[in-house]
Each structure stands twice: as C-alpha cells, then as structure tokens.
C-alpha cells in the first residue's frame, strides 16, 4: 500500500465468494486503497489478509470508523468491533450514488447474489433480489467457464467476438450445462456458445430478478460480473439503455460501507481489527437444546476462549443472559 493518510475510514464487504475492503482518506473521502480477496468459505482468513495489508503500511493508520456489509457482515463486525453494520443493498446504493449522482437504476451481479435497485433523488426507492436460485448470478458463469475450460475473466472478450449467440436455456445451471454440451456436440463455435451464456444470464436476470421493475437511464452496473463486456453488451441490447460500468464495480459494496462509516455521527467503538493478527481465532457451532427451536448457535473463540455468540433466535447467548 503506497500512501495511506494517517486517519482512514474502512468498509468491509464479506460476500459468499469474495471479501472486499475499501480504505478512504478520512479528510477528503478519496479512495486510497481497495482489496479483493477470495473468501473460499473462510471469512476469518480473508479478513486477516485484509488486516495484514492494512497494518503493513507505516505508520500504521488510525481507523476513525469501520463498517461491514455483505452476507458475513455480522461476523466481520464482531471481529473488528464495530456497530456499523449495513445490508449490501443500501451500501451498493450509497456507492452508486457517490459514483454517479444522477443514477436511476443500479444493476448488481455478484457471486451468488444479484439485485436491482431503483434510485430516485439519490435514494433507493425500490429493489429486488434474486430468489434462491443461482441462475441470474455470477456463479452461473463461473461454473460454465470451468466446464468449457476457459478463464471466467476471458469470457467477456470471447463473447464480444460473436455476432450470433447460440440460444441456451438458463433457468438452472444443470439445464444450461446439458444444453451447452449439446450445442458443442453439434459443432457450434465456442464464442457463440459463450455469447449465448451471457445472453441467457442477462435474460434470466431481467426475468427473475428485475421483473416488474421499470429500468430507466442512467443505468450503473456494479458487482464482479460487470467486468464481463459480453454481459454489458447484452444488457444494453436487451434493455435499450446505455449501461455504465462503475469504476469501483468489484468493491462497490465495501466502498458504500466505507462511505457509511464516514457518515455515522456520535461515539464510535474502538477499532480492534488489528488484534486479529495476533490472536488465534476459531469458530464452531452447537445446537442449543433449551427450547424446541433448536437453533444452531455459532461461537467465536479467541485464543481458545469463547468471546462471542450469535445466531440464537432468543438471544440468550448473544446478549449474555446465560452463563454459557
């Protein structure tokens, strides 16, 4: 990390596939650094990598406030000790409005989540998220690219070289796969198949995620999949609007969280993220048998001692009412 000002705001987005961190200069709110790490199922490790990078600069910066977002937001907040926890829809909106003031529609496609956010006067007015299925999300492309034996990063370029996308069904990845294999077998060129995959992802997104929402310009595209030019082209074709790709597309959620951290007034908790580097952290779970709910309660250990509990519906552990 080259030059980090002495005081910073940080935003951390712990997603299902990747963990993102954005560092803002506390004085002018300029982004001074951003990190993008594969979570690979263990947010503890990826958070630690992020903290290591942050601590590696000298002098070690003072964190004025930190915020967390993403599906692992509660865990991350516990680890770095902050109470600023926000859902990714709101943080994505903050980032998008900061990037493009007049934005009206935000398209966001991430690893396992995708959403559409309708913005009016700089505020989210409406949103929709994908349902349980992964068909309209980035993991769809991930799976198919490994099936085809190409890098997911290259898919966009390859797709752009096709003028004739092959029709591929895309409701579920299994269907898409059989369909894709069939198309390969009958000899359809690779670039047409990949362009077809992009088309099917976008069609799926518009039909299942964005359904019923009126897409109005300007449109801003965020999330990891925004790197794929084939998808961008498909969006423009299918919606008829110019589709702007956010310069911070990969870290938009974390960026929004960092902006949020800068907005919160009043007393803030002391940032304890650096302690992660020294301590030995571990998570396990147990099934509570105190009532018929049978919640599986999660427990965080630091140096062998349980320090935090969550995921209990009655709050008997998380609020510390039980003597454990």
Partner 1 sequence: MKVTFPNLGSMYIFCKAIAETAGIPYVLPRPTSIHTREIGEYSTNESTCLPLKIILGNFVEALEDGADTIVMIGSGPPCRLGMYDRIIKIVLRDMGYDFRWLTIPGIFNLQAFLQNHEEARILRKELSPSNYARFPVAIITGWKKMLWCEHLEKVAAIMRATAFNPDEVDSILAKGLNAIDTADGIRSCASAGSKAVEAIRSVKKSGKAPLKVVMVGEVYTVMEPCINMDVERRLGHLGVIVERSSYFSMNILRGARVSRKVLRERKRLLELVKGYLQYDVGAECNFSVAEAVQAIKRGYDGVVHVYPFSCMPETNAAAVLSAVGNDFNFPILPLVIDRQDMELRIDTMLEAYVDIMRWRKDGRFL
Partner 2 sequence: MRVGLPQELTCIEWIDEFKTGLSYLIPDIEWIHTPSVKNRQPLFPGTDACFPFKKMVRTSLNLSSRVDLLFIPRAVSLDGYLMCPNFRALPDIVSINIKRMDKDKTVPVISPLMEIRNRRQLDSLIKKTAKELISGYGLHGSENISYGKDEQNVKYQRDISHSIALIGHPYLLEDKRLNNGAPEILKNYDLRTISSTELPFRELNRLSASYDFYAKKMYWRPGREILGAFLYFTHIRRPAGIIQLVAFNCGIEALLRIELMSLYRQMKNPPPYMVIVCDEHVQREHVVTRIEAFLDIINGFSIK
Using rule CB under 8 A, residue 40 touches partner 2: no
Q: Is the peptide bond before 218 cis (omega within 30 degrees of 0)?
A: yes
Total residues at interface with partner 2 (CB under 8 A): 18
Out of 157, 315, 320, 324, the residue judged to bind partner 1 by CB under 8 A: 315
* DSSP-derived pairing of the beta strands 105-109 and 114-120: antiparallel
| Residue nearer to partner 1 on the CB measure, 61 or 70 | 70
Of the candidate spans 54-62, 198-206, 258-266, 270-278, the one that interacts with partner 1 by CB under 8 A turns out to be 258-266
Residue 63 tokens, joined: 């964190």
**Short-list 117, 85, 87, 90, CA closest to 104:** 117
Using rule CB under 8 A, residue 40 touches partner 1: no
- Identify the residue whose tokens are 């509990």: 309
Beta bridge pairs of residue 119: 124
Using rule CB under 8 A, residue 123 touches partner 1: yes
| Residue nearer to partner 1 on the CB measure, 57 or 112 | 112
Using rule CB under 8 A, residue 241 touches partner 2: no
Residue 174 tokens, joined: 């299994």
Write the DSSP assignment of 220-258 as a string of letters.
EEESGGGG-HHHHHHHHHHH-S-EEEPTTGGGHHHHHHH
| Residue nearer to partner 1 on the CB measure, 24 or 89 | 89
Alpha-carbon span 273 to 80, nearest angstrom: 4
| Residue 88 binds which of partner 2, partner 1, none (CB < 5-8 A, kind-dependent) | partner 1
Q: Sketch the per residue contact string, 205 through 234, with partner 2: x for CB under 8 A, - otherwise.
A: -xxx--xxxx--------------------
| Residue nearer to partner 1 on the CB measure, 227 or 264 | 264
Q: Sketch the per residue contact string, 187 through 206, with partner 2: x for CB under 8 A, - otherwise.
A: -------------------x
3-state secondary structure of 27: coil
Alpha-carbon span 119 to 123, nearest angstrom: 5
Residue 44 dihedral angles phi and psi, to the nearest 5°: -60, -50
147 in Cβ contact with 121 (< 8 Å): no
| Residue 71 binds which of partner 1, partner 2, none (CB < 5-8 A, kind-dependent) | partner 1
Alpha-carbon span 175 to 302, nearest angstrom: 45
Total residues at interface with partner 1 (CB under 8 A): 28
- Identify the residue whose tokens are 């929709």: 128
| Residue nearer to partner 2 on the CB measure, 68 or 200 | 200
| Residue nearer to partner 2 on the CB measure, 32 or 135 | 135
Residues that bind partner 1 (CB under 8 A): 71, 86-90, 113, 120, 123-129, 131-132, 211-214, 263-265, 292, 314-315, 319
Which residues are near partner 2 by CB under 8 A? Answer: 169-172, 175, 178-179, 182, 206-208, 211-214, 238-240
């Amino acid at each position: 990390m080259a030059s980090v000002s002495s005081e910073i705001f940080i935003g951390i987005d712990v997603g299902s596939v990747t963990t993102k961190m954005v560092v803002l200069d506390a004085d002018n709110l300029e982004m001074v650094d951003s990190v993008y790490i594969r979570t690979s199922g263990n947010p503890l490790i990826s958070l630690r990598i992020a903290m290591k990078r942050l601590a590696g600069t000298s002098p070690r910066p003072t964190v004025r406030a930190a915020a967390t977002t993403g599906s692992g937001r509660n865990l991350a907040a516990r680890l770095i000790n902050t109470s600023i926890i926000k859902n990714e829809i709101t943080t994505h909106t903050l980032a998008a409005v900061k990037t493009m003031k007049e934005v009206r529609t935000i398209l966001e496609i991430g690893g396992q989540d995708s959403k559409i956010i309708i913005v009016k006067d700089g505020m989210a007015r409406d949103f929709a998220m994908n349902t349980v299925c992964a068909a309209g999300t980035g993991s769809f492309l991930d799976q198919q690219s490994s099936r085809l034996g190409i890098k997911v990063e290259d898919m966009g370029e390859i797709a752009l070289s096709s003028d004739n996308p092959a029709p591929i069904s895309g409701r579920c990845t299994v269907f898409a796969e059989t369909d894709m294999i069939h198309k390969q077998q009958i000899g359809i060129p690779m670039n047409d198949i990949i362009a077809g995959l992009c088309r099917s992802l976008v069609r799926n997104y518009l039909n299942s995620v964005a359904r019923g929402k009126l897409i109005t310009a300007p449109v801003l595209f965020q999330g990891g999949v925004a790197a794929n030019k084939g998808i961008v082209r498909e969006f423009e074709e299918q919606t008829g609007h110019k589709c702007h790709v956010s310069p911070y597309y990969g870290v938009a959620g974390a960026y929004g969280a960092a902006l949020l951290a800068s907005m919160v007034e009043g007393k803030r908790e002391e940032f304890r993220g650096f302690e992660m580097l020294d301590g030995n952290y571990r998570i396990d779970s147990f099934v509570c048998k105190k009532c018929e709910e049978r919640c599986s309660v999660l427990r965080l250990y630091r140096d062998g001692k349980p320090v935090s509990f969550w995921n209990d519906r009655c709050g008997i552990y998380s609020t510390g009412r039980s003597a454990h």
